[in-house]
Structure 1
Amino acid sequence: MVRTDFTDDAAWRTLMQDAQAVRAQPGGFDAQAVLTTVDDREFDGWTGDMVLELDVDSGYLFVADARTFTDPERPILVLNTDPAEGDEFEKSNSFRVAPEHLGPVENNLSIANLDFADFADHTDADGVFREPSAQPDERTLTIKELLSAAPASQLPEPILTSFINDLEGARGQETTTATYVVDLRTSADYLEANREGYSLSNVVGFEETIARTRQGGSALLFSFPVRGGYWSAWIDPDSLVPFALLGVSRRATDQ
């Protein structure tokens, strides 16, 4: 953590205390930012570009600058010190985060569990990354509302039409339970790990689903049975519009 504003020593001490506090996370675990502090007036007034000129053995830097001490949220500047070749110093190479949310950001960056873009590309309009609101693990949805939302999907017409027709046939069950997927890349990892098993069935949307879920983000996931197989659908948590569909059925010789 590099300090570049020296107008309030007490505010700096409070910031460091809050930034390094142990905080309980929604997943039931604790997170704490592990920081090396640089409190040297040599860096007073330095800009983000100037800080990036430092020779550091890290892919990221945290900076407490003037905005950190004047904005009520105290957003800490996070800089990408190892951007992809050709990138400019733009949004993708910096973002801000409030001290109470710094722990999971630092932890994930330090072990490369998430990369810089996973945070920088999901900031609000003011450039601050804020923890997503807590989501329930499961959500009950009606078949009626799913059928109402499905036509707005941008998926190819053949697979979408087949999905809607089969979902129409599931009206008798009235509701289905969807699971909240925090990170869609876990779905991509699962499909890749079970690729051989899926090859034994007739599958539609397999590669497309891997490609889409590999992009990350969150979603609601639900499945419903059809004759000789099932559908799995990844849908937007707000609009309920499907953006990835996987249809699985037994091969004709297995039926």
Structure 2
Amino acid sequence: MSLPEPDDLTSLVLRTDFGDDGSWDAVRAALDAADDHSPATYVDHPRFAEVTVRALLEEEAATAEDERIFYVFLADAATMADPSYPLLAVDLADEPGRTFRVPARWFFDVSANLSLANMDFAEFADAADGSGTFRGFDED
């Protein structure tokens, strides 16, 4: 179940919930709406159905170091059920298993900064609210 390599300057978005194709289409449309260039490499393969964070961590641990992915976004049942489409962001490298949710509205900012290594996963995770959801940085 090795993870595919994302396209250049994009983030890997794995579909893990296959209950509603219309919701998956809506998630992709919401993520792609922020920019003319898609910020995501979408993986829509049933082998990732209901994959767990633990399984992803084990897979990455067994992958050659130069082929590892640092983070991934999961489009799971919670993503599909919520109109803000909050993807589950998963750290696979620095703090393996650390997660936060990111609604589609904020995905482009998170994806762009992570793919350029402009910011670290922890910076977004640390800015998540009490529900574990990143909703932008408080500019106070």
TM value normalised by structure 2: 0.77
Correspondence for 2:59 among 37, 54, 66: 54
Structure 2 residue aligned with 1:100:
105
Matched, 1:37 2:42: yes
In 2: Cα distance, 1:32 partner to 1:114 partner: 20
Report the count of equivalent residues.
122
Secondary structure at the aligned position of 2:40 is classed as: coil
Matching residue of 2:63: none
Gaps spanning 5+ residues in structure 2: where?
1-12, 61-66
Q: Read off the aligned partner of 2:107 and give its amino acid letter.
A: L
List runs of 5+ in structure 1 lacking aligned partners: 24-30, 136-236, 238-255
Specify the alignment match of 2:8 in structure 1. Answer: none
C-alpha deviation, 1:33, in angstroms: 5.1
Instruction: Tell me the CA shift for residue 18 of structure 1.
Output: 1.0
Corresponding residue number in structure 2 for 1:78 = 89
Quote the offset at 1:32 in angstroms.
5.7
Q: Which secondary structure state, in structure 2, belongs to the residue aligned with residue 62 of structure 1? A: strand
Task: State whether structure 2 residue 139 is matched by structure 1 residue 128.
Answer: no
Offset, 1:22: 2.6
Letter in 2 for 1:59: F
Q: Of the candidates 23, 30, 34, which is equivalent to residue 11 of structure 1?
A: 23
C-alpha spacing 1:39/1:59, structure 2 compared with 1 (3 Å) = same
The SS at the match of 1:51 is helix
Larger relative contact order, structure 1 or 2 (CA cutoff 8 Å, min sep 6) = 2
Asked whether the equivalents of residues 96 and 129 of structure 1 are also in contact (C-alpha less than 8 Å), the reply is yes
Q: Distance in 2 between matches of 1:19 and 1:104?
A: 11
- Larger Rg: 1 or 2? 1
CA RMSD, 1 decimal: 2.1
Per-residue CA shift, 1:132-163, capped at 9, x if unaligned?
46x5xxxxxxxxxxxxxxxxxxxxxxxxxxxx
Per the alignment, residue 151 of structure 1 pairs with: none
After TM superposition, give the deviation of residue 53 of structure 1 in Å: 2.8
Kept after mapping to 2: 8 A contact 1:52/1:79: no
Q: Which has the higher strand share?
A: 1
Partners of 1:41 and 1:33 in 2: CA distance: 22
Which deviations, in whole Å up to 9, do the C-alpha atoms of 1:190-226 show, x marking residues without a partner?
Answer: xxxxxxxxxxxxxxxxxxxxxxxxxxxxxxxxxxxxx
1:112 paired residue number:
117
Q: Would the aligned equivalents of 2:84 and 2:105 in 1 still touch at CA under 8 Å? A: no
What is the TM-score normalised by the length of structure 1? 0.44
Q: Secondary structure at the match of 2:59?
A: coil
Alpha-carbon shift at residue 131 of structure 1 (Å): 1.8
The whole-number CA distance in structure 2 between the counterparts of 1:54 and 1:82 is: 12
Match of 1:185 in 2: none
